[in-house]
Structure 1
Amino acid sequence: MNYLKYIFVIIPFLASAQIGKVEQDSTDVTYIIIEGDSIPKTAIDLDEVMLLHKLEFDSKKDRIRYLILRRKTIKVYPYAKLASERLDSLTKRLKTITKKRQRKRYTKHVQKYIEGEFSEELKKLTRTEGQILVKLIHRQTGRTAFDLVKELRNGWRAFWYNTTANVFDIKLKKEYDPWNDKEDYLIEDILQRNFQSGRLERQKSALDIDFYELTDKWVYNKTEDN
């Protein structure tokens, strides 16, 4: 029980502590000032860093495929991230609207805003870029593009959206599955590397993804049974 006494003794001092900078030997040193005494803070605050394995390819063809996938993933990820943000805002706003007519009107307003903001850009996507976007939308929202269309529009329109998309070989019901789909794992690898470099802004995935476990499976051929 002595550790509890220690905690209760130190809390009042920490509560009145101030953080300041004192110049020492022409080098800025951060100090914690407690009750008039300056105590140097020697620890360095660092952002979380993920250790990534070195990229290796079995052939030049595999390397080229990865580079093409990287370019397309980097291009469409911001749209998936924004879709998640818009959906989150929509969900929170709808919780405050009780009347069905007002909810429908607000949803329609958001639809027009999103379509007006991104329709021209999305039209420029290739078939494979569109499919990657569909999978990343599932990664960021936890729901397939088909389910989102069904929720925000209606079931019949979602059916026709999916049918039309299938003509162009884009499956709106496609889920992001890096555990069983090698391409999805490579997409996850691309995301993690570009989050690390700062090229892409990290947004928490709606899915429970452990990149180290995925790497053990796909790169080192390890499984839970091994």
Structure 2
Amino acid sequence: MYKLILSSFLLFITTFSFAQTETDTLKMTQQDSSIIYSIELKEIIFTPDNVYSMDEDKKAKLILKRRIFKVYPFAKLTADKLTQLNATMAKLKTNREKKKYFKIVEKYLEEEFEPRLKKLSRKDGQILVKLIYRQTGSTTFDLIKEYKSSWKAFWANSTAYLFDINLKTQYKPYDVKEDYQIEGILNAAFNQSQLTKQEPAKPIDFDKLNNHWINKIKTKPTAEAKK
């Protein structure tokens, strides 16, 4: 989930699209053939935090990948349209002209993307909020506040909370494991031309990010052992 995607886009997605529920089911396709599940013999992986079967881990990552592929285009569009919007607004002389132009853009985005946005689940929305931050450098809450109003941002976030979504969520691949996984999936998709690459608003060095998590995993057991 926006609006330029701008704002009514953002506001619309937030208040309506996330209302859907979703059960994580997985249907294998030819593109997923590299991920194979063994029914007769399950490999078990032990970690410092928990125990899980390898097939469950792969399934979770595949579901995450599909969510990313579904919502990344919206996040990219948000960044593209915000750039276009700001450039055009800077050329307009009066507030009346700017307001009129904004309404035109808003109406177009609603008509063009509303059907697709309504198909997003709440979990898709959680990922989209993160990716919007990745591509714009701003939280969804701040975008609504800037292009609409503080009041609408407050109510949009209050509504989103009902569906376990926080519009103030940032994208932190160095701190949050899921965000690191998202960045890895995006990096692979860009390299394989599966998604159109758009640089994040705040540069991310994936090699450094990878090394950061490798070192974090290595040092974590030692730190816990000292407790």
The C-alpha deviation readout for 1:20-53, integer Å capped at 9, x for no partner, is xxxxxxxxxxxxxxxxxxxxxxxxxxxxxxxxxx
Name the counterpart of 2:208: 213
**Identical aligned pairs, as a percentage?**
46
**Separation in 2 of the partners of 1:80 and 1:135?**
9
Q: Which has the higher contact order (CA 8 A, sep 6+)?
A: 2
Equivalent pairs counted in the alignment come to 168
Name the counterpart of 2:85: 90
How far off its partner does 1:222 sit? Answer: 7.6
Amino acid at match of 1:62: D
Name the counterpart of 1:147: 142
Name the counterpart of 1:157: 152
TM-score of the superposition, structure 2-length normalised?
0.70
Name the counterpart of 1:75: 70
Q: Once superposed, which parts of structure 1, at least 4 consecutive aligned residues long, lie more than 4 Å away?
A: none
**Separation in 1 of the partners of 2:136 and 2:124?**
18
How far off its partner does 1:208 sit? Answer: 2.0
Higher helix share: 2
How far off its partner does 1:80 sit? Answer: 0.5
**Separation in 2 of the partners of 1:206 and 1:105?**
28
The C-alpha deviation readout for 1:34-79, integer Å capped at 9, x for no partner, is xxxxxxxxxxxxxxxxxxxxx9x94322211111101110111011
The C-alpha deviation readout for 1:98-146, integer Å capped at 9, x for no partner, is 2111111211221222222112211111111011011101100111111
Q: 1:115 to 1:207 in 2, by over 3 A?
A: same
**Separation in 2 of the partners of 1:115 and 1:152?**
15
The C-alpha deviation readout for 1:184-217, integer Å capped at 9, x for no partner, is 0000000000001111010111012111111112
Q: Unaligned 5+ residue runs, structure 2? A: 1-34, 36-43, 46-53, 219-227
TM-score of the superposition, structure 1-length normalised?
0.70
Amino acid at match of 1:134: V
DSSP 3-state at the match of 2:173? coil
DSSP 3-state at the match of 1:219? helix
